[in-house]
Copies of this chain bind each other. A is one copy, B any other.
């Protein structure tokens, strides 16, 4: 008797989308002032946080597909927010590094960004906020159930 699709308003994919739009709105507004997109911001953040790395790893961390990342890196390089060099031991790879100007962009937006994050956390309450992050993590981690023989 549970054999019906959830109404679109109770659909998990749509709920995830709506929630994300709500959270991203103010962040996008902030970044628009600097002329940077949400995705470009993610790439810069990953590089600042974890240091230089190759595109494939950036894509994983920033949750981007490689073709998208290719174009994003081209634009970030044009604007001198990153630097690229070839990996000497494996010439298929390259190593991408954030530049001083790139770090500068992050620094400029850090305070607002932190404030927006805290605002959302306070709105839900810390416990519910952490619970939400845990549930999301659980969702994105487990592909298959542990018992599958």
Chain A residues proximal to chain B, CB less than 8 Å = 2-24, 27, 38, 42, 45-46, 49, 61-63, 110, 113-114, 117-118, 120, 122-124, 128-129, 131-133, 135-140, 142-143, 145
Contact = CB atoms under 8 A, between A and B. Distances in A.
Given A5-B114, A132-B139, 14 more contacts: A4-B114, A5-B113, A9-B61, A12-B23, A15-B140, A18-B140, A19-B136, A19-B140, A21-B140, A22-B143, A120-B139, A128-B135, A132-B136, A135-B135
Contacts of A129: 12
Given A3-B114, A23-B139, A8 B42 contact: yes
Given A5-B114, A8-B46, A12-B117, A19 B139 contact: yes
